Amino acid sequence: MLSRIAESLYWMARHLERADNTARVLDINVVHRLAAEEGLTEEGQWLPLLTILGADDRYAETYPDGRVSVQRVIRLLTQAETNPGSILNCLRLARENARAARDRISTPVWETIDALCRTAEARLKATLPPWQAAEFHAFVHREVATVYGLAQGTMMRGEAHSFTRFGALQERADMTARILDVRYHLLLPDPSLVGSPLDYYQWGVLLKSLSGFDAYRRLYQAGVRPVDVIDFVILNPDFPRSLVYCVSRLERSLERIGQRPEGEVGACLERLRAHLAGVGAADIMAQGLHEYLDAFLTALLELSDALTRDYFNHDV
């Protein structure tokens, strides 16, 4: 496969996953805002989300007065032309990459991505008000899930499918680690509130933002405890958004793609796997969750760089 085609498939999937993840955390924040305690400011509600998505600087450039509001955040992250990471721009980039790899994806996958992007463009011509945001984000969830389902059911298993899976899983692992890291630090700044209803509620919000609340409750009978949430989100091999799950599936995708002689991707994946192996949630908390996740994100970035060097820099 030509390296430019492989790169297009990889980025098609990453942009789709990024659009879905952005819609997911925005949606949860909107719901959380409606149920939040009266003392919680809009800054306290929305700044963590901007940090998770790496949009702090972009927000400051766009709104130099520094005032944070739900309308501004939704606009920046959903439809702003000036924000490369907005949902609208992610969908456009996904379509652009899908078009470049048109002959390697099935017709249903292409048609669904194209229709998703065209519909989003039409619906976002006007400013999206907060009370309509949840419905739009649900639409993005459904359509991205449809693309994944169609890819699973209609694409031949081989390099094209594996590069697509690789991009989606890498983006998912990145977002899971960022959500857990930022939320952990900002969820409950006052230790006296540990074990309070607010503590339970905010850890529940974190699980919902990862679509893991119901599965967590079925697996853990002791209620929502930080150590169990960390075990579930990082180490559970069956939760599709856990770090362990994503890394194990990345390894499977690489097996189908085939490693390059003298390539670095295999070694990077081995470092990620070793980082997650032989450690428990209590160990992670003891050594510092932020430090642990920061090391994971650094290794994930090294994987991305190695992938570019191994597969995307020249045609074969």
pLDDT of 315 > 60? The answer is no
Mean pLDDT of 107-112: 96
pLDDT digits (tens, 9 = 90+) for 234-278: 999 999 999 999 999 999 999 999 888 788 999 999 999 999 998
Q: Is 133 helix (H, G, I), strand (E, B) or coil?
A: helix
Separation of first and last alpha carbons in the chain = 7
Which pLDDT band holds residue 109 (cuts at 50, 70, 90)? Answer: very high
Res 33: pLDDT: 59
Which pLDDT band holds residue 172 (cuts at 50, 70, 90)? Answer: very high
Strand stretches in the chain, DSSP E: none
Res 29: pLDDT: 73
Res 316: pLDDT: 47
Angle at 89 between CA 85 and CA 92, to 5 degrees: 140
Sign for the CA dihedral angle at 70, 27, 96, 121 comes to negative
Closest CA to 32 of 159, 186, 170: 186
CB 34 within 8 A of CB 13: no
* Whole-model pTM over 0.95: no
In this structure, of 33-42, 86-95, 145-154, 269-278, the range with the lowest mean pLDDT score is 33-42
Closest CA to 291 of 187, 180, 200, 191: 180
pLDDT digits (tens, 9 = 90+) for 208-231: 888 899 999 999 987 888 889 999
Out of 43-52, 178-187, 210-219, 235-244, give the one with best mean pLDDT: 235-244
